[in-house]
Structure 1
Amino acid sequence: MAAAKPENLSLVVHGPGDLRLENYPIPEPGPNGDRVAIEPGAPREIDEFCKIGRYNLSPTIFFCATPPDDGNLCRFYKHDANFCYKLPDNVTFEEGALIEPLSVGIHTCRRAGVTLGNKVFVCGAGPIGLVNLLVAKAMGAAQVVVTDLSASRLAKAKEAGADFVLQITNESPQEIASKVEGLLGGKPEVTIECTGAEAAIQAGIYATCPGGTLMLVGLGSEMVNVPLVHAAIREVDIKGVFRYCNTWPMAISMLASKSVNVKSLVTHRFPLEKALEAFETSKKGLGLKVMIKCDPNDQNP
């Protein structure tokens, strides 16, 4: 009897809300394999954005799970070797997978110019808010305050190293800004907005010190009302963030040196066979970071 062919179990999107587990052909890898973390965005061509090192802005970039490009929730996956980064022996596969969100924090804090002694205000205690907290502290921020609606997420932020947390109830943006200033003992030089909520963006503008920087990380409505003049007359720089670029080497170094601990961000783990359950868990807001483990031999943290 012929040996059964190995299966490349894959989670396939057929339409909105229609996810199915199917078997796909197994890609043929090249020789001499290593344990790697992949950067999901790989340029298709060397355009003007690639030439200046900002390939994340290339309009033709390949990016996993961004139509028309397939994602990589499957047993076997082939990727551009230039965007596969070897993992040190003391960095786990799970930590390697978390380089992707960690890279958002690195890219944001780089663009914000976070440096030694800064006061930083992070709006939102979800996974992206927390990686920005971790990176800001690693880059030398003296004090970081994190705001959110959820008490449980703020508890995670405190566990991750936030100096102060503030649960938002029905305060106005100006009141939030005043409370942030009170906690930090002054206005923050950097505000990192990770929710996309109009009120949070407004609070970020009011809170940031004159000459400071507001980073827009969270994506919300296309059109929002903001006190733009309040930013303009105080020279508050407003910068956007789109994915990341040139971050994987730094992220790997931070993990290998134990400068950041991302393990606590993962609250739920599911094997690939239970991927639909994983998405339902995330949809219901039951977890912070839900991990799908595609390798049947790597189900532990």
Structure 2
Amino acid sequence: MSSTTAEILERKPRNIAVNTNPQHGLHLVDSEVPEPGSNDCLIHVRATGICGSDVHFWKHGKIGDMVVVGENGLGHESSGVVIKTGSQVTRFKPGDRVALECGIPCSLPTCYFCRTGRYNACPDVKFFSTPPFDGTLRRYHVHPEAWLHALPDSLSFEEGSLLEPLSVALAGIDRSNLRLGTSLVICGAGPIGLVSLLAAHAAGAAPIVITDLDKNRLDVAKKLVPRVRTVQVDKGDDTRELGKKIVDSLGEETELVLECTGIESSIQAGIYATRFGGAVFVIGVGKDFQNIPFMRLSSKEIDLRFQYRYHDTYPKAISLVSEGLIDLKPLVTHRYILEEGVDAFATASTPASRAIKVQILDD
């Protein structure tokens, strides 16, 4: 064990984690500091963002078929420092700063999806924080070397943890074929909507409209990208009328919608705002069954498409932030230490807090 590792463990011996359970509890737990396997690294997790899915697992106990059935650690937007390496690790050493990609596929040559590069679809993927796998919102976490990404010195740990939601946005940008001059509507100005706005702006989408119920979030969007046009949604809005309101703001029916809420009425409004031959790309997570304006999709030849996580996005995300094309720093509105993890979740799940991205930090 290196002196650096010994010093860290002596200074902070408790391996604290934030867990939920089937009773919708949320609490801190202590566990042993794990030993890395031969191809693993032991990470001191320095920053973790709270994702909407973390809140959903806590509040609702499931997302689709992914169900909390026991004690389950949360968190998958993380960065940190390598403090110990397994015997076969060659790319990293203690002291290296890293971002954690938390979807670990089987990587077997017999797996069609891993073999063809679409490893996000691997049926045997181990995604940290998705039941039954514990998350990375803990002090010490063992992570496979192959799914760690070197974090440049120019990027903070907070920015390193934000590479995960940026990866979601980049996957959406790639799959939707957004290009220079694509007219765009982004439904939802939460963290994914805002990071999608930053990515779409960098990609040259124009013009852009973003929608939300929360005026504060629309104001944040305007500060991030001053040229964006905003449409405030009111609860109970007729979705056809909301679609028209979006079109009026954009100045035309849109080529592309990036739907970042998963809410039925928002998806409907996005469809009503889309032109013939356009596409509605749903990134948000919503109810298992939803109603859609089927004949509008049919008669306008609108493609309704979906996204499941991401693949091969972290290197691109690191480059975009390092080169200054995307600035993630303004997204962090609230910071807590690890011991305040329960309070951090309360802030992240309370609209009155006006949180965009809540970060849990451990120095």
TM-score by length of 2: 0.77
| 2:18 is the counterpart of 1:11 | yes
Judged with a 3 Å threshold, the aligned counterparts in structure 2 of structure 1 residues 4 and 203 are, in CA distance, closer, same or farther, namely closer
| 2:220 is the counterpart of 1:156 | yes
2:209 is matched with 145
1:87 is matched with 151
Query: What is the root-mean-square deviation of aligned Cα atoms in Å?
Result: 1.6
2:346 is matched with 280
- How big is each residue's C-alpha offset from its partner over 1:220-248, in whole Å with a ceiling of 9 and x where there is no partner? 22111111221122221111111111110
1:290 is matched with 358
| 2:322 is the counterpart of 1:256 | yes
Of all paired residues, the percent bearing the same amino acid is 41
Distance apart, 1:94 and its partner CA: 0.4
Larger displacement relative to structure 2 (123-132 or 42-51): 42-51
2-side partners of 1:105 and 1:67: how far apart? 23
- Residue number among 157, 161, 165 corresponding to 1:97 in the alignment: 161
2-side partners of 1:41 and 1:9: how far apart? 22
Larger displacement relative to structure 2 (153-162 or 129-138): 153-162
Distance apart, 1:16 and its partner CA: 3.4
Q: Please tell me the residue identity of whatever aligns with 2:98.
A: V
2-side partners of 1:131 and 1:256: how far apart? 15
Q: Please tell me the residue identity of whatever aligns with 2:254.
A: P
2-side partners of 1:110 and 1:186: how far apart? 23
| 2:231 is the counterpart of 1:224 | no
Kindly indicate whether the alpha-carbon contact (under 8 Å) linking 2:274 and 2:280 is maintained by their aligned counterparts in 1: yes
2:93 is matched with 32
Distance apart, 1:22 and its partner CA: 2.7
- How big is each residue's C-alpha offset from its partner over 1:27-54, in whole Å with a ceiling of 9 and x where there is no partner? 3331613100011101124211112211
2-side partners of 1:160 and 1:8: how far apart? 36
2-side partners of 1:44 and 1:90: how far apart? 32
Distance apart, 1:4 and its partner CA: 8.0
Kindly indicate whether the alpha-carbon contact (under 8 Å) linking 2:335 and 2:360 is maintained by their aligned counterparts in 1: yes
2-side partners of 1:21 and 1:147: how far apart? 36
Larger displacement relative to structure 2 (101-110 or 223-232): 223-232
Q: Map residues 113-262 of structure 1 onto 2, 5 A cutoff.
A: 113-161=177-225, 163-169=228-234, 170-262=236-328
Structure with higher strand content: 2
- How big is each residue's C-alpha offset from its partner over 1:166-202, in whole Å with a ceiling of 9 and x where there is no partner? 1112432222222222222211111011111111111
Distance apart, 1:17 and its partner CA: 2.8
1:55 is matched with 119
Distance apart, 1:74 and its partner CA: 1.1
Judged with a 3 Å threshold, the aligned counterparts in structure 2 of structure 1 residues 25 and 239 are, in CA distance, closer, same or farther, namely same
Distance apart, 1:14 and its partner CA: 4.0
Structure 1 stretches of 5 or more lacking a match?
Answer: none
- How big is each residue's C-alpha offset from its partner over 1:62-116, in whole Å with a ceiling of 9 and x where there is no partner? 1011111111111111111111000111111100000111111100111111100
2-side partners of 1:164 and 1:203: how far apart? 16
TM-score by length of 1: 0.93
1:110 is matched with 174
Larger displacement relative to structure 2 (265-274 or 234-243): 234-243
Kindly indicate whether the alpha-carbon contact (under 8 Å) linking 2:15 and 2:31 is maintained by their aligned counterparts in 1: yes
1:42 is matched with 104
Kindly indicate whether the alpha-carbon contact (under 8 Å) linking 1:190 and 1:213 is maintained by their aligned counterparts in 2: yes
Kindly indicate whether the alpha-carbon contact (under 8 Å) linking 2:106 and 2:125 is maintained by their aligned counterparts in 1: yes
Q: Please tell me the residue identity of whatever aligns with 2:32.
A: P
Judged with a 3 Å threshold, the aligned counterparts in structure 2 of structure 1 residues 219 and 4 are, in CA distance, closer, same or farther, namely closer
SS at match of 1:21: strand
1-side partners of 2:171 and 2:17: how far apart? 30
Structure 2 stretches of 5 or more lacking a match?
Answer: 1-9, 36-83, 86-91
2-side partners of 1:142 and 1:14: how far apart? 44
Kindly indicate whether the alpha-carbon contact (under 8 Å) linking 1:14 and 1:20 is maintained by their aligned counterparts in 2: no
Judged with a 3 Å threshold, the aligned counterparts in structure 2 of structure 1 residues 214 and 86 are, in CA distance, closer, same or farther, namely same
